[in-house]
Amino acid sequence: MDRNLALELVRVTEAAALVSSRFMGRGDKNGADGAAVEAMRKAFESVKIRGEVVIGEGELDEAPMLYIGEKVGSQSEDCMEVDIAVDPLDGTTLIAKGLPNSISVIAMGAKGSLLKAPDTYMKKIIVGPKAKGCIDLNKSAEKNILNVARALDKKTTQMTIVVQDRERHNHIIEAARKLGTKIKMFGDGDVAAGIATCFEETGIDMLMGIGGGPEGVITAAAIKSMGGDMQAQIYPLSDEERKRCHEMGYTDESLNKVLSIDDLAKGDDLFFAATGITGGELLKGVTPIGNNRARTQSVVMRAKTGTIRFVDAIHNLDKNQILIDLMKKYNME
């Protein structure tokens, strides 16, 4: 794929972030998500790809925009066919409450490179490059912490793991506390939490737990670009979710399979882009500058080269047609 597509993807996540940031703290998570979806869809129109959404906002009858199977990009014959995985607003509750770590994200890969994960839960372990090859989803949380600590040349008391604040993770928390490992809890936004494991300045060594399946595939594209490691398992928590998996072709046997990072995101023709909406540890949020400008911070990665770029941008909002149109639609001028 053309390496210049990296910046094109950033423009798409920037558009979603700029529009959805107007909803910060307003308590309207559905409005924020809808605006982000519309902005991302419009921004994709100018990207020179023949893209198909393999992970999006749902099926056609549930999500009229960026649905699974939708074609995005210019769709001209001279463009490469690619898989697209999107989460226009990862952390809808976060932005509704004005909390940190909501982001807009895209993963893109060559056709057939991204796992078509059902919209169910996924069990995950994620680590940075230094602990690559040291995780095993079939082993206990305690054993995984010990193995990662050994790989990082740290005592377990020097490690920090990140865990979503859910009752289903009590066994992980108990194992970590038994080993004296520091725990950082988060409420929502597991893409941002996952990629934090690959940046030493965040102080996060490891993520464990059960989160969104589609978000897991998006995260895998970033982790692979950064040389980290990830294992996962499709993990339906209800009969309805299991039925959804079966409808997508998953058997009970395949649901028991532990997926490697290469199962989640194949090859190295992968891109990942994210823009901060509300500020977090990794990315600054959208920051207004006066009445007609705003600053954004994004990260874009390419698996083929392992390059990670942070992109700081200042936007003239009076000249951003996507923002202007959507703000009129949502009566937020």
The Cα–Cα gap between 67 and 119 comes to 12
Q: Is 188 annotated as a binding residue?
A: yes
Q: Is 157 annotated as a binding residue?
A: no
**How many Å is the Cα radius of gyration of the chain?**
19
| 3-state DSSP assignment of residue 126 | strand
Q: Is 190 annotated as a binding residue?
A: yes
Question: Where along the chain do its domains lie?
Answer: 4-112+269-330, 121-264
- Written out in words, the top-level CATH class of the domain with range 4-112+269-330 is alpha beta
Q: Is 91 annotated as a binding residue?
A: yes
Q: Is 215 annotated as a binding residue?
A: yes
The Cα–Cα gap between 43 and 35 comes to 12
Q: Give pLDDT tens digits along the chain (333 positions).
A: 788 899 999 999 999 999 999 999 999 999 999 999 999 999 999 999 999 999 987 665 555 568 888 999 999 888 999 999 999 999 999 999 999 999 999 999 999 999 998 888 999 999 999 999 999 999 999 999 999 999 999 999 999 999 999 999 999 999 999 999 999 999 998 999 999 999 999 999 999 999 999 999 999 999 999 999 999 999 998 998 899 899 888 999 999 999 999 999 999 999 999 999 999 988 999 999 988 899 999 999 999 999 999 999 999 999 988 888 888 887 776
Q: Is 168 annotated as a binding residue?
A: yes
Closest C-alpha among 263, 8, 9 to residue 117: 263
Ramachandran class of 194: left when φ > 0, alpha when ψ lies in -120 to 50, beta otherwise: alpha
Q: Is 121 annotated as a binding residue?
A: yes
Looking at the domain that runs over 121-264, which CATH code has it been given? Answer: 3.40.190.90
DSSP 8-state assignment for residue 149 = H
Alpha carbon of 218 to those of 106, 114, 248, 266, 290: distances in Å? 7, 8, 18, 12, 34
Q: Is 90 annotated as a binding residue?
A: yes
What counts of helices (H) and strands (E) characterise the chain? 11, 14
Q: What phi and psi values does residue 18 have, to the nearest 5 degrees?
A: -60, -45
The pair of structure tokens assigned to 173 is 């928390």
Q: Is 87 annotated as a binding residue?
A: yes
Q: Is 92 annotated as a binding residue?
A: yes
DSSP lists the bridge partners of residue 312 as 297
